[in-house]
Amino acid sequence: MDEPVLRVRGITKRFPGVLANDHIDLELRRGEVLAMLGENGAGKSTLMNIIYGLYTQDEGEIYINGRQVEIRNPEDAIRCGIGMVHQHFMLVPVLTVAENLMLGMEHVRGYFFLDKERTIREIEALSKQYGLEVDPRATVEDLPVGAQQRAEIIKVLYRGAEILILDEPTAVLTPQEADDLFMVVRSLTEQGKSIIFITHKLREVMEIADRIVVLRGGKLVGTTTPAETSRAELANMMVGREVLLQVEKEPAAPGEMVLAVRDLRVLDDREHPAVNGVTLEVRAGEVLGVAGVQGNGQRELVEALTGLRKVTGGQVQLLGHDTTHAAPRQVIEIGTAHVPEDRHKHGLVLAYPVEDDLVLCTYYLPPFTRSFNLQPYAIETNAVNLVDAFDIRTPTVATPASSLSGGNQQKVIVAREFSRNVKLLIAAQPTRGIDVGSIEFIHKNIIAQRDAGVAVLLVSAELDEIMALSDRIAVIYKGEIIDTVPAETATREQLGLLMAGVHEAEAGD
């Protein structure tokens, strides 16, 4: 076996308060797919950003084909043949695919004019070679997510990358698109490219990887191959203790109807249809999980139900009230709690002290307001109680929300929404990007709300979370609920097919 294409030795990186990478050694051989597995916050992205030159390591060296290299910025990385496909695409939405690709290394015609034609020809050649068809003239923001990712990959190849780093590529794809990606990965490795595949999804690792390394808390905790290990063992290495995959909960006892949605139609920000005739019901004391890949209309559905987005068709009944065109305040006052998908945009005012964020929806009601006057003491005591009850790690109640960790910020939102006596709880991506401890805490609270008779509508892209918490699971695909299945009998494969829009009957394999 010749020299490894890429070797890193003793890579260490400290951020204020956390040791992101702790003396990591790693090797990547030519034509190999190395899967890098690890929890959110385990240091995967930090390591890759160091290799790609976005961050500079505090200690350690990087070797390309046996030769040590200094990578201070992405330009050095590109010169060493390293290319990175980011989780949030590094494409400029308003520019065309061709413009995005030639950004930074433009072909020039006549001293200073861009040579767009030549670039387009080169892109078409590359996409044929690796089976990545995408229209170079299209503007990026008009392309579907899958096509944008293909454009990102071509962008890396266009720069002559030998080593490709794919950072959580399947997070935004349907299972089918994921399979197409795996085919592309195989064709790339056959043509001599080497790939580092970052993910926290166990199933993918088993299917695509030649070798697997696992990171936890910034340290390399193990190297293995799919053949030598099992998903349970990988999960254990990832989390370092027995993962409570299954939340203990008794079977649900659905009560009276709380939310009834008939043939709901909603448009997205660019006036295209996002929700095309959704019909669903949620009863008291029941968790209805809405599974589906991001971008299939979940965000618009949730915003429509909570009054944040105009409804263009259909009807919404909440506890007997017609809330189809209700304003957000009306929906809240009827008795709805809403854990928003984007906690920084909707959930919190980051500049506010924690105590003000905790009364964001109820500031105008007693005890917080009496005869047109805010009661600072009442707001403060309410905050102190909630901070204890929901174990929010904050120095004081006056500390701005911006200085809390992601998990604690989410707990502030949960504390605010769960402490109000509500009949309906809508939770969108409640545990995205937060530490494991907080995830378990929030899941327990959701189940507690359900057992207390609250109707819960859970929208999440994490299939495991949906399967763990839901009593019934509705799968949404291109703005329609194509099927609703009881949670106990649902299997991952079945849900995977549904999420890709393939009905049980048609599958018939």
Partner 1 sequence: MTTETDASRGAESKLGLFSRRVFISILSIVLSLVIGGAIIALSGGDPIDGYLGLWRGAFGKEKAVVETIVKTTPFIFAGLAVAVGFRGGLFNIGVEGQLFVGSICALIAGYAVELPPGIHAAFALLMGALGGAVWAAIPGYLKARTGAHEVITTIMTNYIALRVINWSISQNGPLRLPGSALPETRRVLDSARLPSLTDTTPPLHIGVVIVIVAVFFVYWLLWRTPLGFEIRTVGLNPSAARYAGIKVERTIVLTMVISGALAGLGGAVQVLGLLGYFTTGFNVGLGFDSIAVAMLGSNHPFGVAAGALLFGVMDAGMKTMQLRTQVPRDIVVIIQGLILLFVAAPLLIQPLFRLRQVGEGEQVSISATWGGEG
Partner 2 sequence: MLDANFFTALLSLSLVKATPLVLGAMSGILCERSGIINIGIEGMMLMSAFAGFLGAVFSDSLWVGVLVGVLTGAVMGAFLALLSIRYKVDQIIGGTVINLLAVGITSYFAVIIIDNQSLSGIGVLPIIQIPLLADIPVIGPILFRNQPITFMMLILVFVLHVALFYTPWGLRTRAVGEHPRAADTVGIRVNRMRYLDTTLGGMMAGLAGAFITLESVGSFESGVMTNGRGFIALAVMVSGNWRPINALIIAYIFGVSDALGVRLQLGDVNQLATLLIVAGLGMLIGGALWALTKYLGRRDENKVPVTQIALAVAGLVMVLAPAIVEIPETNIPFQFLGLPPYILTIIIVAGLVGNVRPPAAEGKVYEKQ
Chain contacts with partner 1 (rule: CB under 8 A):
306, 308, 327-333, 338, 340, 345-353, 355-356, 360-361, 363-364, 369, 372-374, 376, 380, 384, 387-388, 393-400, 402-403
84 is in the binding site of which of partner 2, partner 1, none (Cβ under 5 to 8 A by kind)?
A: partner 2
Least CB distance from residue 140 to partner 2, whole Å?
A: 10
Give 18 or 253: the residue with its C-beta nearer to partner 1.
18
Helix (H/G/I), strand (E/B), else coil: 239:
helix
The tokens describing 7, both together, are 């070797």
Q: How far is the CB of 261 from partner 1 (least distance, A)?
A: 20
Whichever of 129 and 403 has its CB closer to partner 1, that residue is 403
259 is an interface residue for partner 2 by CB under 8 A? no
Ordered alpha helix ranges (H), 230-358 = 231-239, 298-305, 328-335, 354-357
Q: How near is the Cβ of 503 to partner 2 at its closest, in Å?
A: 35
CB closer to partner 1 out of 369 and 494: 369
- 59: its two tokens: 């200690």
d(CA 502, CA 494): 9
Q: Which residues of 226-242 are buried (b: 16+ CB within 10 A; e: fewer)?
A: beebeeeebbbbbeeee
Measured in Å, how far apart are the chain's first and last C-alpha atoms?
Answer: 41
Could you say which of 18, 103, 247, 452 contacts partner 2 (CB under 8 A)? 103
Kindly tell me which residue out of 18, 105, 327, 351 binds partner 2, with binding defined by CB under 8 A: 105
Is the Cβ of residue 358 or residue 498 nearer to partner 1 in the bound state?
358
Residue type at 134? V
- Measured CA to CA, the distance from residue 57 to residue 468 in angstroms comes to 39
86 binds, among partner 1, partner 2, none (CB under 5 to 8 A by kind): partner 2
Tell me the β-bridge partners of 283: 257
Q: Residues 334, 339, 342, 347: is their CA dihedral positive or negative?
A: positive
Nearest Cα residue to 449 out of 258, 320, 246: 258
96 versus 438: smaller Cβ distance to partner 2? 96
Task: Locate 84 and state its tokens.
Answer: 């990175």
**In the complex, minimum distance from the CB of residue 129 to partner 2, in angstroms, rounded to a whole number:** 21
* Pick 48 or 348: Cβ nearer partner 1: 348
Contact flag: residue 167 with partner 2 (CB under 8 A)? no
Number of H helices, E strands in the chain: 17, 24
Q: Exactly one of 5, 11, 50, 78 binds partner 2 (CB under 8 A); which one?
A: 78
**Between residue 50 and residue 69, which ones bind partner 2 under the rule CB under 8 A?**
52, 54-55
Token pair belonging to 324:
């189809």
Q: Of the ranges 47-55, 317-325, 341-349, 459-467, which one interacts with partner 2 (CB under 8 A)?
A: 47-55
In angstroms, the CA 70 to CA 73 distance is 9
Distance (Å, whole) CA 69 – CA 50: 12
Q: Could you say which of 86, 338, 416, 443 contacts partner 2 (CB under 8 A)? A: 86
Angle (CA) 347-326-268 rounded to 5° is 65
Nearest to 482 by CA among 507, 509, 455: 507
> How does strand 424-428 pair with strand 455-460?
parallel
Question: Which does residue 99 touch among partner 2, partner 1, none (CB within 5 to 8 A, set by kind)?
Answer: partner 2
Task: State yes or no: cis peptide before 367, omega within 30 of 0.
Answer: yes
3-state secondary structure (DSSP) of residue 10: strand
Q: Which is nearer to partner 2, 159 or 265 (by Cβ)?
A: 159
Name the E strands within 341-423: 369-370, 373-374
Strands 33-38 and 194-199: parallel
Residue 418 contact partner, candidates partner 2, partner 1, none, CB within 5 to 8 A by sort of partner: none
119 binds partner 2 (CB under 8 A): no
Residue 396 interacting partner from partner 1, partner 2, none (CB closer than 5 to 8 Å by kind): partner 1
Q: Is 229 helix (H, G, I), strand (E, B) or coil?
A: coil
- Residue 102 site contact among partner 2, partner 1, none (CB < 5 to 8 Å, cut-off depends on kind): partner 2
**Between residues 73 and 402, which has the closer beta carbon with respect to partner 1?**
402
In angstroms, give the least distance from the CB of 279 to partner 2.
Answer: 34
Pattern 6-45, partner 2, x by CB under 8 A? ---------x------------------------------
Contacts to partner 2 by CB under 8 A: 15, 52, 54-55, 73-75, 78, 84, 86, 89-95, 99-100, 102-106, 108, 112-114, 159
